Amino acid sequence: MTKALLINLPRYDTVAPPSAIGILAGICEANNVDYDICDFSVIIKEHFSNEDFLSIDNWLTFVNNNIEQKLKNQLIGLWQTHVVSRLPSYELAAISVFTYWSLPMAKLLFEYQITQDIGNCKVVVGGNGVQSRFPDTQQSFEDWAKQNNIADYVIFGEAETPFDSILKGITTGPGINNQNFVQEDNLDSFPFPSYKKFQMSKYSRNRLYITGSRGCVRKCTFCDIQNMWPKFRYRSAENIIQEIKNNYYETGITQYDFTDSLINGSVSNFYRFNSLLAEEKSRNNDLKDVSYIGQAIVRPRHQMPEHHYEAMYYAGCEQVTIGIESFSEPVRNHMLKKFSNQDIDYHAKQCSYWGIKNIWLMITGYPTETLKDHQDNLNGLKHYQKYAKQGIIEMIRWGTTMHLIEDTPITDPAMLKSLEIEQNHNYNRMISDWHYNWVSKKNPSLDLRERLRRRLEIHFESVKLGYPQPRVIEELEIINALAEHI
- Residue at which a domain ends, from 187, 205, 226: 187
Residue 192 lies in a domain: no
Do 161 and 232 lie in a common domain?
Answer: no
- pTM equals 0.90
Structural domains in the chain (count): 2
Beta carbons within 10 angstroms of residue 210's beta carbon: 21
Give residue 423's pLDDT: 66
Do 140 and 246 lie in a common domain?
Answer: no
Give residue 58's pLDDT: 84
What is the Cα–Cα distance from 13 to 199, expressed in whole angstroms? 15
Q: For the segment 403-450, what is each residue's pLDDT rounded down to a tens digit?
A: 888 789 998 889 989 999 876 544 444 444 557 888 999 999 999 999
Residue 341 lies in a domain: yes
As a whole number of Å, the end-to-end CA separation of the chain is: 55
Do 241 and 366 lie in a common domain?
Answer: yes
Give residue 422's pLDDT: 78
Do 178 and 254 lie in a common domain?
Answer: no
Do 180 and 202 lie in a common domain?
Answer: no
- Tell me the residue range of the domain where 252 lies: 197-483
Per-run averaged pLDDT (10 residues), the chain, 486 residues? 93 91 97 97 95 89 86 98 98 92 94 96 95 85 95 95 97 95 93 96 95 95 86 96 96 96 97 98 96 98 98 98 98 97 98 98 97 98 98 96 87 90 56 72 94 97 97 88 81
Residue 329 lies in a domain: yes
Give residue 429's pLDDT: 44
Do 203 and 349 lie in a common domain?
Answer: yes
> Is the backbone peptide bond immediately before 283 cis, with ω within 30 degrees of 0?
no
Do 304 and 373 lie in a common domain?
Answer: yes
Do 216 and 78 lie in a common domain?
Answer: no
Give residue 427's pLDDT: 41
What is the Cα–Cα distance from 147 to 141, expressed in whole angstroms? 10
Residue 175 lies in a domain: yes
- Residue at which a domain ends, from 162, 187, 212: 187
Give residue 433's pLDDT: 52
Do 263 and 131 lie in a common domain?
Answer: no
Q: What CATH number has the domain bearing residue 156?
A: 3.40.50.280
Element (H, E) at 209: strand 207-210
- Residue at which a domain ends, from 167, 187, 207: 187
* Exposure string for 395-406, b = 16+ CB within 10 A, e = fewer: bbbbbbbbbbbe
Do 183 and 327 lie in a common domain?
Answer: no
Do 234 and 330 lie in a common domain?
Answer: yes
**Cβ atoms 109, 9 nearer than 8 A:** yes
Q: For the segment 365-413, what is each residue's pLDDT rounded down to a tens digit?
A: 999 999 999 999 999 999 999 999 999 999 999 999 998 887 899 988 8
Q: What CATH number has the domain bearing residue 367?
A: 3.80.30.20
Give residue 187's pLDDT: 96
